[in-house]
Amino acid sequence: MPIKNSKIHTSVKIFKKNLVNIYGAKIGAKTKIGPFVEIQSNSEIGKNCKISSHSFICSGVKIEDNVFIGHNVTFINDRNPKSTNNKGELKKNDDWILEKTFIEEGVSIGSGSVIMCGIKIGRDATVGAGSLVLRSIPSKKIFFNKRNKNLK
């Protein structure tokens, strides 16, 4: 079973338990988790959330209650990822800096978005589908990238 070492409330619904990879995570009551989702250790998801299929919640992401994460949403925790360190060896745990990300209560993140680390998305903010979010977003703001306007 690809669900390990996690504190998952008994009311959480994981629709396809054999098609997720969840380890070391904390997930609150009534939250729903779609298929093809990975949730890493030291991440935290509140109650009444929806984590849609194909999304990736990495270590260091804290998601509060009532948050919608669309399909195919990708979080990040390393601003300068590399495979190897300066010695040419595979990076170890102390070869990189984890930057945390905070998603406050009631946020909605549209499908296909990529969320850079080290930022906060404020309460009830909305991120349009297909966005790349590089900076913090204030509460209640509706965020779009320029391409969301389909300018050509």
> Tokens 């904390």 sit at which residue?
26
The length of the chain is 152
Q: Binding mask 69-98 vs a copy of itself (x if CB under 8 A, - otherwise)?
A: -xxx-x-x---xxxxx---xxx--------
Binding of a copy of itself by 130 (CB under 8 A): yes
b/e per residue 15-53 (b: at least 16 CB within 10 A): eeeeebebbebbbbeebebbeebbbbebbbbbbbbbbbb
- Which position among 7, 9, 135, 140 is part of the footprint of a copy of itself (CB under 8 A)? 135
In this structure, are residues 70 and 110 in contact, taking their beta carbons and an 8 Å threshold? yes
Binding of a copy of itself by 3 (CB under 8 A): no
Residue nearer to a copy of itself on the CB measure, 9 or 21 = 21
Task: Give, as ranges, the residues between 16 and 45 that touch a copy of itself (CB under 8 A).
Answer: 16, 18-19, 21, 30, 32, 34-36, 38
Binding of a copy of itself by 4 (CB under 8 A): no
Q: How far apart are CA 109 and CA 135, in angstroms?
A: 14
Q: How far apart are CA 42 and CA 149, in angstroms?
A: 36
Fill in the amino acid letter for 102: F
Interface with a copy of itself (CB under 8 A): 2, 15-16, 18-19, 21, 30, 32, 34-36, 38, 48-50, 53-54, 56, 58, 66-68, 70-72, 74, 76, 80-84, 88-90, 106, 108, 110-112, 114, 116, 126, 129-130, 132-135, 144-152
